[in-house]
Amino acid sequence: MALVRRARRIDRELAAAYPDARAELDFTTPLELLVATVLSAQTTDVRVNATTPELFARYPDAAAYAAADPEELEQILKPLGFYRAKTRSLIGLGQALVERFGGEVPGRLEDLVTLPGVGRKTANVVLGNAFGVPGITVDTHFGRLARRFGWTESEDAVKVEHEVGELVPRKDWTMLSHHLVWHGRRVCHARRPACGACVVARWCPSFGVGETDPEVARTLVKPGPTPSPTTPQPPHA
């Protein structure tokens, strides 16, 4: 019970710190979000968002991706890296959607994960943000923070998803994912977390793995909406 209380308290504090937390990929339809999430592998959301306006205008539906000329699509995707593999993924994705789902993005995890280039992480992003179906998105940031918070010890994404899901209400899963990803990108970095500028330092069992001096820690916080740092206190359950 102490772990559950601490997990929910951390989520509440992060929700207050990041009231505008959301998916940082630009999209207007489930297909656009699915495509953008597939493209985000091994690159940044910023680069994806710079590429997708042209992509979405040129390929407005699944049928357009299914019939795409590989060379033309590669030229658009080249700035993202791994553009040949991503081109194959998008064409295969379009074909699968047309052939098996009438050109529409399915709203069930068990269907989404059958699509080329789509795993549980991508499926949960689409379900949570395009369909309003709660899902936990275990990317590198989420997994790192979940382990630092003591919510799991696992490196396996599926195990992390299930173990963390037992700590917070299902209705909060999607926003919990956003909170951890935003905090991981801005404050709780992989190599040098800004512990001294962390709003949940008091409840974090890993407090001290990074810079604890508030002034120094503030210099480590990356750009973007960030919470006002507080004076950290020793962690407790």
Catalytic residues: 121, 139
| Inter-CA distances, 128 with 30, 40, 118, 120, 133, Å | 10, 17, 15, 12, 5
107 touches 132 (CB < 8 A): no
Burial of residue 235, with CB atoms counted within 10 A of its CB: 0-12 exposed, 13-18 middle, 19 or more buried: middle
63: left (phi over 0), alpha (psi -120 to 50) or beta: alpha
On whether the CB atoms of residues 235 and 202 are closer than 8 A, the answer is yes
